[in-house]
A and B are shown apart, each in its own frame.
Chain A
Amino acid sequence: MLRVQSIEVRYDEVPALHDVSIDVREGEIVAVIGSNGAGKTTLLRAISGMRPPARGEIFLDDTPLHTLKTHQISALGVAHVPEGRGIFARQSVLRNLYLGAFLRSDREREETLERVFDLFPRLAERRNQSAGTLSGGEQQMLAIARGLMARPRILMLDEPSLGLMPKLVDLIFELVQRINQEDGITILLVEQNVRESLEIAHRAYVLETGRVVLSGSGEDLLHNEQVQRAYLGM
């Protein structure tokens, strides 16, 4: 469904991604793992048009994304939950969710809202609270929930477990899996939390200094010696 074909992305003329290609099929959870600065965030930013690639192509089905602007890519069904959550701290929780459904009709919005509150009951309790006053875990849930409000075809998550305590990390991964299984939403997950990501991912890519160095099923990579040594401390 999503095809990234040998893209190169540069920051101030310094390449951050070289010749990166990945594939995401309908209904999958695909994880991109790697350490800090490997280019994981850059990859998502390239897909959502925040940092268009200098070379290479990106397709959603047969529609080229690399020539479109961020809001147009969003309208095609690509939801990007950015690094650091990017919630609107000055607005209420509900307003944040409504903004997620900006391109949806009022009816669709209310329908999706019901499902989102079902997945994230904490947000329902805090709907009128200003988003900036939420805890870190709640803010992460809000960011994911806001992504869902767009009713995306593919949900891209940038390190959703970052900075959360272990119990919440488990909860987030569980929710990601539920969203994939119950709502049939394709997921592209970028993570440093390698073990848990590989456990829920159908397939995964390992990114190192801007290049894809390894790919395979989540299961295979979990038992790959190289991955175990570099990322799982075994």
Chain B
Amino acid sequence: MSPELVLFLQTLVSGILIGFVFSLLSVGLTLIFGVMDIVNFAHGEHLMLAMYATFWMWTLWGIDPLFSLPVVALLLFILGVITYRLLIRYVLDAPMLAQIFVTFGLMVFLRNLAQVLWSEDYRRIGDTLLSGRIELFGIFIGRPQLFASLGAVITTGLLYFFLKRTRTGWALEATAEDKEVAGLMGINTERMFALAWGLGLASVGVAGALLATFNPIFPEVGTVFVLVTFVAVALGGFGSVPGAFIAGIIIGIVQVLGGFLWEPRFKTVLIYAIYLGVVFIRPQGLLGRR
């Protein structure tokens, strides 16, 4: 293989790998939106918290991210339920602006809280069980990246299975389609809202633990990932889980290929160009409904 081709494949693979993680992040966001029509603007900050949780468990107690992952997911699930119970519940019937301010305010609050508690320093998790890289047909793949995308795919798959194959998953989808009628079926819709927040944040928890193994951790780290997540959710169609999954991969590929074929500093420009294209040509997104 020519060096250019190897480099191209190398870039493509890394784009797909990070794309799966974008997918998981987007699924978490779109799940909450789909069920209750509320956008969680603190999504990135929840990711940041998950990354810090992974970091501190590794630093303080030497727990490898591989093992702290389920704990972080559970912590974020609980945080999601608490966030719903203490905050979101009160703006369910409020004007959209009030709903935006609540999660936007939460974003500012969490970010500042992290700055106060853990300072602006960039933190890194050193060698873990996942460190190192493997070589496949002349292409190098970082083991943390590989594991991250594997973990993301498995988690997304489990979520999808839960939604499609379990009674509670059906109830969640019914609530997403029509809350009032779901109540008439005997579904406790408030519990479904709490569950949507729990699952949405648990997805972020898994993504955070996975990303923490190869990314610096700092209070604003959420913005690095959350903007592409919002684009992926819009591209996939607000509220569509399969849409968010596909869009996440597309965005991962576009991001790295844009940098590779064009200019690294323009890679995000391409992503937002996609976003504009979606808004103009197909506002409901790939798999969304009008």
Q: How far is the CB of B192 from chain A (nearest CB, A)?
A: 10
Residue positions of B touching A, CB distance < 8 A: 167, 170-171, 173-174, 177-178, 180-189, 289
- Would you call the interface of chain A mostly helix, strand, loop, or mixed? loop
- Contact between chains at A150 and B186 (CB < 8 Å): yes
Give min CB distance, B189 to chain A, whole Å. Answer: 7
The 6 A-B residue pairs with the shortest CB-CB distance, nearest first, are: A70-B183, A74-B186, A86-B181, A103-B186, A102-B185, A71-B188
Question: Given that A98-B170, A102-B167, A102-B171 are contacting pairs, would A74 and B183 also be in contact in the complex, using a CB cutoff of 8 Å?
Answer: yes
Q: How far is the CB of B172 from chain A (nearest CB, A)?
A: 11
Task: Say whether A74 contacts B181, CB under 8 Å.
Answer: no
Question: Could you say which residues of chain A place their CB within 8 Å of the CB of B171?
Answer: 99, 102
Bound form: Cα–Cα A78–B41 in Å: 39
User: B188 — which chain A residues lie within 8 A by C-beta?
Assistant: 69, 71
Contact residue among B173, B177, B184 (Cβ-Cβ distance under 8 Å from A80): B184
A110 to chain B: closest CB distance in Å?
Answer: 14
B177 touches A88 (CB 8 A): yes
Cα A79 to Cα B181 with chains together (Å): 11
A-B contact pairs, 19 of them (CB 8 A): A48-B184, A49-B183, A70-B180, A70-B183, A71-B189, A74-B183, A74-B185, A74-B186, A82-B180, A88-B181, A90-B177, A91-B170, A91-B173, A99-B171, A100-B185, A102-B171, A102-B186, A102-B187, A103-B185
Residues of A within 8 A of B178 (CB): 86, 88
Instruction: Closest A residue to B190 by CB, please name it.
Output: A69
Residues of B within 8 A of A100 (CB): 185
Q: Name the B residues within 8 Å of A70 (CB-CB).
A: 180, 183-184, 189
- Nearest-neighbor residue (CB-CB) of B188 within chain A: A71
Q: How many A-B residue pairs have CB under 8 A?
A: 64
Known: A86-B178, A88-B178. A99 touches B170 (CB 8 A): yes
By a CB distance below 8 angstroms, the chain A residues around B289 are 90
Task: Name the one of B173, B184, B187 contacting A82, with C-beta atoms under 8 angstroms.
Answer: B184
Q: Once the chains are docked, how many angstroms separate the CA of A89 from the CA of B177?
A: 8
C-alpha gap A50/B186 in the complex (Å) = 12
* Cβ-defined contact, A71 with B170, below 8 A: no
The one of A48, A50, A99, A103 that contacts B174, using a Cβ cutoff of 8 Å: A99
Q: Are A71 and B187 in touch, CB under 8 angstroms?
A: yes
| Chain A contacts for B170, CB-based, 8 A | 91, 95, 98-99, 102
Chain A positions within 8 Å of B184 at CB level: 48, 50, 70, 74, 79-80, 82, 86
From A71, A79, A95, A98, contact of B183 by CB (8 A): A71
